[in-house]
Amino acid sequence: MGMDFSEYVDLFIDESKEHLQILSQSLLDLEKNPNNVPVLNEVFRIAHTVKGTAGTMGYLKMSRLTHVMENVLHAVRNNELRIESGIVDILFKCLDALENYLNNIISGGNEGDNEYQEVRDALDDLLKEKKPADGQPGGREGDEAAPGPTECAGNGEAMDDAWDDKVRNAVLSAEEQGIINKAYELHKNVFHVVIRLTATCVMKSARAFIVFQALEQDGEIIKSLPSGEEIEDEGFDREFAAVVVTSKGVEYFQDEVGSINEVENVTINILQPKLADPAAPGGGDGDGGAGAEGAGVAAPPAGQAKDGAGQEGQKPKVSKTVRVDIERLDILMNLVSELIIQKTRLEGIEMNNTTDYHETLESLERITTDLHDAVMKVRMVPIENVFNRFPRQIRDISRDIGKQVELIMSGEETELDRNVIDEIGDPLIHMLRNSIDHGLEPTERRAEVGKDPVGRIYLRAYQEGNNVVIEVEDDGQGLNIAKIKAKSVEKGVVTSEAAEGMTDREFIDLLFKPSFSTADKVTSLSGRGVGLDVVKTKIEGLGGTVEVETELGKGSKFIIRLPLTLAIIQALLVYVGGEKYAIPISTISTITKLMPGDIKLVQNMEVMVQRDVVIPMIRLRGRLDVAESEGYAGPRDGVLVQVRKSDRVYGYVVDRLIGQQEIVVKPLGKMLSNIRFIAGATILGDGNVALILDVNSLE
């Protein structure tokens, strides 16, 4: 056939992921409010869509499971079953099964062998319990349970008729009637084509799309009934229609459309030109045209015409998106990077020091910056994609350990680079688990200390300068510094003498050390010494930082700061010895000239005291082991660059400043991975390479 089936599998996987994510959120909403009809309809629509798409792709186990799931939801919608926690639990098991099927398809290309018979049996048991409602016979397990037009406005037979009327009676605006009049002037025909699909049609919107393609081969569609968005969302029962301008005759479309699979019936009405009312301005020259009455077709009641107008008015809400492979964006990003490197080279060429040269250079700088911003915006994804899966996980975790937990999320619209989004999920779920297990007290303990029995965890995201900040806060017991101190001495992490001189902040930092845990007993969630060290490694690998604020008895807050982009940054170039290094501007708080009298010695360490704050000093030449270059005659101990790391400040002693520059971050490659103190490299204007300092490891 020559078709690339893998392309359809990828599309199926992407769409199914979105469907299952919405299904997870909808089931949580349904558990809180069982009478929420729009949410129930949404759950039904997703089950129906997944059944159809899985069946079309040949994933029959998924299709069969969603079919039984759909029957249960059909019974709920007909008031034959009541939504309760038990039903939601079974529906969540269905969701888990579907996610497992999807993961198998992603990893191995097929669903696997598990039929999830126990889940299907549980669903069948629910169907046996249902009671006939409103005189309808019960037990329609074998039904296809095709959805009525619930997405449009309610359900029931009356709604079907209303839709059929709306489809059969083309309500034309004055503008559309004007187009019809113009078509007749050009000796073309205008047909109102009504298509009825078979009752067994699974993917109605896909079938409608094929019909429209056939109509557009030899014509132009000027209106679809219902609207294109509703057809795409399967917001119709079995009938839909199109108004087509064409040079072909009725028989051609009757044969062409009638021969398409799953089309049961095609009715074609001829729309006539209609001159305007004598009283109406504009006459019959094709500009004015008829009012709301159709041309040669019975007009529906005025109320329906209003409905149509309302739907037209909603169109701006529909956003159009294009799926783009991340590799293509990476290529585009590399091209922008190369452009910025070339711009930097131009800045270094001084031989052509004319006004025109500088104007051109400024223009190039502006264009590259705009292009970089545009590419970055394309790569940005709302953090909502990560946050969405947490409510379900929190529900399951809280049930497992018997604590009542409410997750309050905000800032889901905050955007992060796609590569960061992929990596951030695991660290965040570690921290949320940590908050539930360690942070929140047991329910009875909360009651004793006068707290709400329901523990609250706040997950926030917001932008701050060039960073995105994510906070995980709980209203639990806070970190017990005394307990951390005792554990650290007991495990030999620090000596009891050293522990006496340590600050609370230093004890909190111990939590991020490998295999350090304060849990008294090992549970499925914690106490295995895996968690915060993994979080710290992952976040710092993304160029971010983690810090902790805590108050005993009140709660704790973990704050993650991540850079908005990992590819192009503003940096300060400095000389250390005879070598150039780059320090990210986002980490620098102040730069001061260093005088010999500023340096003090505390416990054999060099520090500088500024506004009663003690700033530890790090001489980069010694720390980086940079040899003195022979030809270098720059000043020594010239400048102190103060770098903020988490909530502390360090001073880096450099020899000389070069200046601020936009640099392209390049990885060092596999051979040079995990080099301490170095975060990457950049190519400078003169073609030389400067190393970028990793402020997280320099302390």
Residues 6+ apart with CB under 8 A from 574: 580, 581, 582, 583, 639, 641, 654, 655, 656, 657, 658
Q: To 10 degrees, what angle do helices 390-401 and 418-434 make?
A: 20
Alpha-carbon span 439 to 453, nearest angstrom: 14
8 Å CB contact between 97 and 104: no
d(CA 383, CA 372): 21
Site of tokens 């949320």: 432
Nearest in space to 587 (alpha carbons), one of 599, 569, 605: 569
Q: Which of 473, 448, 661, 692 is nearest to 572 (CA)?
A: 661
Question: 434: closest CA among 556, 560, 559?
Answer: 556
Amino acid at 298: A
User: What residues form DSSP beta bridges with 416?
Assistant: 381
End-to-end CA distance of the chain: 62
* DSSP-derived 3-state class of residue 371: helix
Active-site residue set: 48, 70, 434
**Pairwise CA distance, residues 74 & 68, whole Å:** 10
Beta strands 455-464 and 405-410 are: parallel
Is there a contact between 424 and 562 (Cβ–Cβ < 8 Å)?
Answer: yes
List phi, psi (to 5°) of 693.
Answer: -80, 140
Residue with tokens 């080279």: 345
Per the document, the length of the chain is: 699
Whole-angstrom distance, CA of residue 568 vs CA of residue 279: 66
Query: CA-CA distances (angstroms) from residue 392 to 31, 66, 72, 105, 223?
Result: 11, 20, 21, 23, 42
Sheet with 239-246: strands ordered across: 219-225, 239-246, 189-197, 263-270
The kind and range of the H/E element at 269 are: strand 263-270
Confirm if 664 and 683 have CB atoms less than 8 A apart: yes
- Going by C-alpha positions, the residue among 149, 10, 23, 192 that lies closest to residue 96 is 23
Quick one: tokens of 263? Answer: 């089309």
The span from the CA of 116 to the CA of 63, in Å, is 12
- The vertex-11 CA angle with 10 and 13, nearest 5°, equals 65
* Cβ 625 vs Cβ 661: under 8 Å: no
